[in-house]
């Protein structure tokens, strides 16, 4: 009797170091130009090679501009070095690189599942806190620091303190118009931004099983905002259908053998968890953050709490008890490793189609990868957005993360499909409200925070 986490963990223990810590075999390392360049450079300077370059992948997503025709341009002052140094170091190390102009370029946590680089049962690390996203594929994937990345690159192992286990079971079905993003915000608002600290969180239950693959990635993405070591979901037919035929996924007879093995990656009946939470799916409604922590989130038709923290209120320019719906916005952002996949853009486009972004609102759509961008363009979604008044960008992290250049302005109120709303996250003084892509789309049209269910069509 073992949980999903315990199964993957025990398959990867190379040696026990002490009661709490083990040396863990690392199957895949992913890097990006913001932190990966640091790790690769420092390793090269120490004269140590990458032990298995075929298992290491790097992409350009954080610093690179997302403006059309970008080339190596960046909005970050002094940021060019991150791009060129990553390129040079990646080539020298012989690792796989998704360069700026590559067909496969995109946000690390979008590209990795898309190409079947992350697979059920594997361990994957990346010096990026949202690596937990990839746990949705039934993998053990977590964010590390640059020094740890060096160790993993050089040895194919990592010393890891074993996290505790938590299971969040979501019973019943999410109502129409309620998304995985709303579920993630509900969970964090309810149990707190530190609710998952030191735990590997397995998401389970009927509502999670019913989520399509891309929505599962959205749910696991925000395990880090829950404070968790990582999030993960047992792989099932949804996972296998998604992975079949992807470039780095096994093929032919190896595929069949892999699926047979992956089917065992479930928490056995009677598995013990350090913490268990149960949520009823019918309690989950569309959510929006009002404050500067993700736990400061309420129902879209709710109000800022009466006992809201003064500092958050001041930063956000709000008053306790104020309704969230109807707050005027001047920025709207659809993108990020949380919500920039094809299905996210499709759902947003369904709301935007035939409508116009409100006057005075700067609205952007930034696809998560070049593959998402191509697929969206083939379906005509770019035209839907552009005709409505959205900017249509190249793929990358873009305005999810203020890298020192492009930003929404100070005191601008922005509705955003991203995952972080802390002070100055999207630019100095910018006020970020986190929500689903549907809510962002509806709010861009309304010019104020709006309930996307009012904009749904038949
Ligand atoms: C720059 C990077 C290290 C950072 C992270 O780890 O999450 C970024 O992706 C973010 O979302 O804040
Ligand atoms: S999209 Fe945002 S949250 Fe995701 S990796 Fe990039 S900067 Fe981090």
Token pair in block for residue 94: 């012989």
Give me the pLDDT at residue 31, please.
98
Which listed ligand is nearest to 62 at the C-alpha?
2
Per-residue pLDDT band at 103 (split at 50, 70, 90): very high
Report the nearest-CA residue for atom 2 of ligand 1. Answer: 128
pLDDT in tens, 61-76: 999 999 999 999 999 9
Check pLDDT > 80 for residue 190.
yes
The predicted model gives 71-87 an average pLDDT of: 95
Q: How far is the CA of 396 from the centre of ligand 2 (A)?
A: 8
Structural tokens at position 91: 């080539």
Q: Is 399 in the pocket of ligand 2 (CB under 6 A)?
A: no
Tokens read off for 146:
């640059």
Does residue 224 come out as left (phi exceeding 0), alpha (psi in the -120 to 50 range) or beta?
A: alpha
Instruction: Lowest mean pLDDT of 124-133, 399-408, 410-419, name the range.
Output: 399-408
DSSP alpha helices (H): ranges in 156-286? 180-191, 206-209, 213-221, 237-243, 252-262
pLDDT at 457 over 90: no
Any atom of ligand 2 within 6 Å of the Cβ of 435: no
Cα torsion 339, 341, 347, 348: sign = positive
Q: For all residues of the chain together, what is the average pLDDT?
A: 97
**Contact assessment for residue 74 and residue 113, using Cβ atoms and an 8 Å cutoff:** no
Q: Sorting pLDDT into bands at 50, 70 and 90, what band is 404?
A: confident
- Out of 32, 128, 228, 422, give the residue to mutate to test ligand 1, the one with the largest number of ligand atoms within 8 Å of its CB: 128
What value does the mean pLDDT take over residues 392-413?
96
Q: Choose the CATH number for 287-454 among 3.50.50.60, 3.90.1150.30, 3.30.499.10, 3.40.50.300.
A: 3.30.499.10
Q: For residue range 276-323, list pLDDT tens digits in order.
A: 999 999 999 999 999 999 999 999 999 999 999 999 999 999 999 999
- DSSP H helices, 267-317, are 310-316
Among the listed residues 259, 322, 321, 311, the one whose alpha carbon sits nearest the alpha carbon of residue 422: 311
CA distance 171 to 175: 12
Position 346 confidence tier, pLDDT thresholds 50, 70, 90: very high
Query: Domain boundaries in the chain?
Result: 14-162, 287-454
Q: 14-162 with 287-454: one CATH topology?
A: yes
Average pLDDT in the 48-66 region?
Answer: 98
**CATH fold for domain 14-162:** Aconitase; domain 3 (3.30.499)
CA 201 to centroid of ligand 1, rounded, Å: 20
CB 165 within 8 A of CB 3: yes
If 0-12 CB within 10 Å is exposed, 13-18 middle and 19+ buried, where does residue 237 land?
exposed
Per-residue burial over 254-279, b if 16 or more Cβ lie within 10 Å, else e, is eeeebbeebeebbbeeebebeeebeb
**What is the pLDDT, as a whole number, of residue 458?**
64
pLDDT at 263 over 70: yes
What tokens does 11 get? 């398959």
């Amino acid at each position: 009797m073992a949980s999903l986490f315990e199964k993957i963990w025990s398959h990867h223990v190379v040696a026990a170091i002490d009661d709490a810590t083990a040396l863990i075999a690392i199957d895949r390392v992913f890097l990006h130009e913001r932190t990966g360049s640091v790790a690769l450079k420092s390793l090269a300077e120490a004269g140590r090679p990458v032990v298995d370059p075929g298992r290491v992948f790097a992409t350009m997503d954080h610093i690179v501009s997302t403006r059309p025709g970008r080339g190596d341009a960046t909005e970050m002052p002094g940021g060019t070095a991150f791009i060129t140094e990553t390129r040079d170091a990646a080539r020298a190390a012989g690792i796989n690189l998704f360069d700026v102009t590559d067909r496969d370029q995109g946000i690390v946590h979008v590209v990795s599942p898309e190409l079947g680089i992350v697979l059920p049962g594997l361990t994957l690390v990346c010096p990026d806190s949202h690596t937990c996203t990839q746990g949705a594929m039934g993998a053990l994937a977590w964010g590390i620091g640059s020094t740890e990345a060096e160790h993993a690159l050089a040895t194919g192992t990592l010393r890891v303190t074993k996290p505790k286990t938590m299971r969040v079971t979501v019973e019943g079905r999410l109502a129409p118009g309620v998304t995985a993003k709303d579920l993630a915000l509900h969970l964090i608002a309810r149990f707190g931004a530190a609710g998952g600290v030191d735990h590997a969180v397995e998401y389970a239950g009927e509502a999670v099983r019913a989520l399509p693959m891309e929505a599962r990635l959205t749910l696991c993405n925000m395990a880090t905002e829950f404070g968790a070591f990582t999030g993960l979901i047992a792989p099932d037919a949804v996972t296998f259908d998604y992975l079949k035929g992807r470039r780095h996924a096994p093929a032919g007879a190896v595929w069949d053998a892999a699926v047979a093995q992956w089917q065992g990656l479930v928490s056995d009946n009677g598995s013990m968890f350090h913490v268990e939470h149960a949520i009823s799916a019918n309690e989950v409604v569309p959510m929006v953050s009002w404050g500067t922590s993700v736990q400061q989130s309420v129902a879209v038709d709710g109000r800022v709490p009466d006992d809201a923290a003064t500092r958050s209120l001041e930063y956000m320019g709000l008053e306790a008890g104020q309704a969230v719906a109807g707050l005027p916005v001047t920025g709207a952002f659809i993108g990020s490793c949380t919500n920039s996949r094809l299905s996210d853009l499709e759902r947003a486009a369904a709301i935007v189609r035939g409508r116009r972004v409100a006057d005075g609102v700067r609205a952007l759509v930034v696809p998560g990868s070049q593959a998402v961008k191509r697929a969206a363009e083939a379906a005509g979604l770019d035209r839907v957005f552009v005709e409505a008044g959205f900017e249509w960008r190249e793929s990358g992290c873009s305005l999810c993360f203020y890298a020192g250049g492009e930003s929404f302005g100070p005191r601008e109120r922005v509705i955003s499909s991203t995952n972080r709303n802390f002070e100055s996250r999207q630019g100095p003084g910018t006020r970020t409200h986190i929500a689903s892509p549907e809510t962002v789309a509806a709010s861009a049209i309304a010019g104020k925070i709006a309930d996307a269910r009012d904009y749904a069509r038949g």
